[in-house]
Amino acid sequence: MTDRAPLLDVADLSVKLQVGGTELHALEHVSFSLGYGEARGLVGESGSGKSLTLRALLGLLPPNATVTSGRMTFDGAEFDLAGTSRSKRRRLERLRGTGISMIFQEPSVALNPVIPVGEQIVDAVMRRDRMRRAEARDYAIHLMKLVGIHDAENKVDAYEFELSGGLKQRVMIAAAVASKPKLILCDEPTTALDVTVQQQILDVFTDLRDELDAGLLYVTHDLAVVSQLCDSVTVLYSGNVMESSADLRDMFDAPRHPYTEALLRSTPDVDRIGRRLYSIPGSAPSLDDRPRGCPFAPRCEYRHDDCEEARVPDKSTSSGREVHCLHQVQQGVSRVALTKEAR
């Protein structure tokens, strides 16, 4: 962690979704920040708004989504995410590829099936440096090798459907790092992969972090992945930030938000084979009947009457810890043995 201003600071991000005839508040006042070279995990169940957050940052929301509020500071520059004017969108678009790039969850649909994968890396390369296509191609091969594709010379002209899932994801990563971005957004890049391949990809990320010195915003529902890869973590639930910590360890060791705690308890752990896993009672609220107060309240074990009444104030504490809860868990009820593996 450095003292200088953060690489990325997102404040008050709210996104509205138009589904059928109704408007849903998919993200509400989400804020977090990320230092240079830092890796932050963005954790939550599906539907919590993690992916939406990432897409909002690049202006890549689906047509039925609108940013209603949100500011972003990236590398010293201010951006109004809610801006719809052409110039504002342009500024954000200019960031793509050069400053921020993104890795998608499903490499098989995110790669164009009718264009060779190498060319799709070249597209990204050309974005940053004006070079001849042949050079760009060589560079693409280099990148492919960098992400662990050994026979890159053969694979560069292959099509998406000719590659395995792991290779596809490596290609995506190669394309994402091609323009030497300062920030890489990862949208569950390993979820669609086999467990064995998952680990290889995670290794690629770990290696790349050292190589590139890029910030990493890593969306996942898998706490184990977060613990392995990230420095800091933000927990989302139903479009709201529940708890956020600049130090992953802090939060994992002592979760203060009941949701975080529940999440940790429901994570499988090799040390406790045979024990029954905790499962959070109830189910995540649908976006259109979210409670007025804390969204987690209906499922919360520590619920008080006032939880359902009013919005939760930001109970930030020092040392980058931020908890949105009226009745924080004072001591970690269960100490979860999730340890960051020593490298």
How is residue 138 written in tokens? 């060589």
What residues have CB less than 8 Å from 61, skipping those under 6 apart? 15, 52, 55, 67
Smaller CB separation from another protein, 102 or 241:
102
Q: In the beta sheet, which residues pair with residue 77?
A: 74
Identify residues 62-81 at the interface with another protein (CB under 8 A).
Answer: 62-63
Nearest to 178 by CA among 232, 214, 221, 224: 214
Smaller CB separation from another protein, 1 or 109:
109
In the bound complex, what is the minimum distance in angstroms from residue 59's beta carbon to another protein?
Answer: 8
Is 172 a binding residue for another protein by CB under 8 A? The answer is: yes
In the bound complex, what is the minimum distance in angstroms from residue 9's beta carbon to another protein?
Answer: 20
Nearest to 216 by CA among 80, 54, 46, 26: 54
Binding mask 182-221 for another protein (x = CB under 8 A): ---x------------------------------------
Smaller CB separation from another protein, 28 or 160:
160
Is 175 a binding residue for another protein by CB under 8 A? The answer is: yes
Q: Taking the alpha carbons of 274, 280, 281, 282 in that order, is the dihedral positive or negative?
A: negative
In the bound complex, what is the minimum distance in angstroms from residue 62's beta carbon to another protein?
Answer: 7
Identify residues 96-115 at the interface with another protein (CB under 8 A).
Answer: 96-98, 101-102, 104, 106, 109-115
What is the end-to-end Cα distance of the chain in Å, rounded? 19
Smaller CB separation from another protein, 166 or 255:
166
For 259, half-sphere exposure in the C-beta direction (CA atoms, 13 angstrom radius) is 27
Is 298 a binding residue for another protein by CB under 8 A? The answer is: no
Smaller CB separation from another protein, 94 or 272:
94
- Using the structure block, give the residue that is written with the tokens 């669609």: 192
Which stretch of DSSP H or E encloses residue 265?
A: helix 258-265
How is residue 77 written in tokens? 């520059």
Is 89 a binding residue for another protein by CB under 8 A? The answer is: no
For residues 32 and 49, give the distance between their C-alpha atoms in angstroms, rounded to a whole number.
Answer: 14
C-beta neighbour count of 56 within 10 angstroms: 26
Is 33 a binding residue for another protein by CB under 8 A? The answer is: no
In the bound complex, what is the minimum distance in angstroms from residue 119's beta carbon to another protein?
Answer: 9
For residues 54 and 61, give the distance between their C-alpha atoms in angstroms, rounded to a whole number.
Answer: 9
In the bound complex, what is the minimum distance in angstroms from residue 122's beta carbon to another protein?
Answer: 10
Identify residues 234-273 at the interface with another protein (CB under 8 A).
Answer: none
Angle (CA) 75-78-83 rounded to 5° is: 135
Interface segment toward another protein; rule CB under 8 A; list 4-12, 53-61, 275-283, 296-304: 53-61
Is 51 a binding residue for another protein by CB under 8 A? The answer is: no
C-beta neighbour count of 118 within 10 angstroms: 23
Q: Which residues bind another protein (CB under 8 A)?
A: 21, 55, 58, 60, 62-63, 93-98, 101-102, 104, 106, 109-115, 120, 123-124, 127, 159, 161, 172, 175-176, 178-179, 185
